[in-house]
Amino acid sequence: MLFSRSGVFDSLQRKQFYNMKLIYTHENRFLVYNIQNIVENAHIATTLKNEYASSAAGDLVPHETWLELWVVEDDDYRLAMTAIDTAFKQGSPIEWVCQQCSERNTASFDVCWQCQTERPD
Ligand SMILES: [Zn+2]
């Protein structure tokens, strides 16, 4: 009895998440948004989880509430990872330095991953 119940639960879980894959998560939400930008620029549909889970005070949030970036279609997972990889590789020689906090950002980021200040022209 117990065995068959867990079997049903298992198949429901699989059905729900069948086409979705987690591609990126980080305690810094801005970084996740930047990654989402890169992936969506490659015409890959994404969705965010835990988007409204952060604390109002801006404290570090527990790992379970980190913003998560998922690809909607399982098949896009590899493409998404390639897009991220390419963006970081391209970005490394021409990275820019944030005027606000002096953090280094890759070229593909339009806003600073640290403080979300816009990239200078
Ligand atoms: Zn900054």
Ligand 1 midpoint to CA 34 (Å): 13
What's the first-to-final CA gap in the chain, in angstroms?
65
pTM confidence score: 0.60
Class of domain 17-91: alpha beta
**pLDDT tens-digit readout, 70-90:** 999 988 999 999 998 888 776
Q: How many CA atoms lie within 13 A of 10 on its CB side?
A: 6
Distance 30 CA to ligand 1 centre (A): 10
Tens digits of per-residue pLDDT, 5-63?
444 444 444 445 556 899 999 988 888 999 999 999 999 999 999 887 655 555 555 66
> CB 71: neighbour CB atoms within 10 A?
23
Ligand 1 centroid – CA 23 distance (Å) = 24
Q: Enumerate the domain spans of the chain.
A: 17-91
Query: What is the CA(89)–ligand 1 centre distance, in A?
Result: 20
Q: What is the 109 CA–ligand 1 centroid distance (Å)? A: 11
